[in-house]
Amino acid sequence: MFLPNFETPKILDAFHEFIGRADSDSQPSSTSTLDLHPDPAHSSVPPSSSSSSSFDQHAPGPIIFFSYIQAVGLTLAGVNLVHTKPIPSIHSKEWPTCWRNSGFSKLWRYWNTTRIRSITEATSEHHDLNPAGRRQLLGPTTTIKNDPATLMFVHAAWTQTTVTLRQVKNMGLTLLFQPLLPRWVKKGDPNPLGLDDLAEDDPLVVVSFDVNWHNREDDRLVRKTIRHAMDRIEDFAKTKGTDHRWRYLNYCTDWQRPFEGYGEDNWGFLKEVSRKYDPQGMFQKGCKGGFKLFVEHDEEVEGEGEGQGVGGLSLGEKGEGEADVGFKPKENGTSSEVM
């Protein structure tokens, strides 16, 4: 769903309320995949609170995002609502009860592309919104608690960033919020991510930026501004006690150190495994870029966006013989969202 920016407070409130309620519901709903209703925006039946609107194992997310499109000076909000067990015989625009009974059903929107479709079709839609041939920075990321004031501050920091970068030609700047429920990370055996100690009623939110632009000359300004925004967000969360040490590695950018968020014991365990099964360090030294288990404090290059950055990531144009990694123009349109 795509919505006007003035719906932001309601979107954030619906997000906060839904993931808080979903993770506090100890019993998954047995009716949520069967009790379907038409798009609430065109339904005479009002949403209501019920256990079926809480946890639904077939309803990942929700993912919410906010995008500024510099070329037209437009700010859009978006909501991704996914359900993995639809009933094909029922009209494809009908909503599962968990989403119909959420605050998202009350939002005024420009248009709605919700329908039954394949993963490929859903991916293609996001591919079209993120064109190839542009410079891109996916990240940085941080993790916060599901706190309304912190969610609002993150959005405010992103808004200020769009003002600062408004001069960057053909820029697209997106802010994403994705939930991380304790019940998800506690399925199966423990792992080294360091999330096993999450309280049952304390869902987390993964915050990330995704920015693309046209000119290489803007690299330094973009990187400096985005980093400053993330520093502000993390400082606010730490002051308020709503921060969390964990960082999703795939969204981290080159100046971040995701292994520190795993905790000392887990990081040490991964190092032991590396020493045992890769004694020559091939996977630590065999390619440049990425995050290495044994690299703890790389020095940053003076003047971000030029030469080499933290962890040896390539920040400029790819030279002859260099690996196709790091910070560079996109060759294929990609999206940081699943659906």
pLDDT at 49 over 90: no
pLDDT of residue 33: 32
Task: Give the helix ranges, DSSP H, for 241-313.
Answer: 264-277, 282-285
- pLDDT tens digits along 210-232: 999 999 999 999 999 999 999 99
Q: Where are the domains of the chain?
A: 1-60+76-129, 132-339
Q: Which of 188-192, 207-211, 277-281 has the lowest mean pLDDT?
A: 188-192
pLDDT at 128 over 80: no
Higher pLDDT, 319 or 6: 6
pLDDT at 22 over 80: no
Taking the CB of residue 66, how many other CB atoms lie within 10 A of it?
23
Please check whether residue 154 is in contact with residue 178, taking contact to mean a CB–CB distance below 8 angstroms.
no
Measured CA distances, 313 to 186, 193, 327 (Å):
33, 23, 7
Q: Average the pLDDT over 20-42 and give the result.
A: 44
How far apart CA 189 and CA 160 sit, in angstroms, is 42
- pLDDT tens digits along 79-121: 887 777 766 655 556 777 777 777 788 888 787 777 777 778 7
Q: Average the pLDDT over 273-290 and give the result.
A: 88
Q: What DSSP state is assigned to residue 92? A: T
pLDDT-based confidence at residue 58 (cuts at 50, 70, 90): confident
Mean pLDDT across the chain: 76
pLDDT-based confidence at residue 309 (cuts at 50, 70, 90): very low
Which run of H or E residues covers position 127?
A: helix 119-129
pLDDT of residue 174: 94
pLDDT at 302 over 90: no
Q: Is 220 left (phi over 0), alpha (psi -120 to 50) or beta?
A: alpha
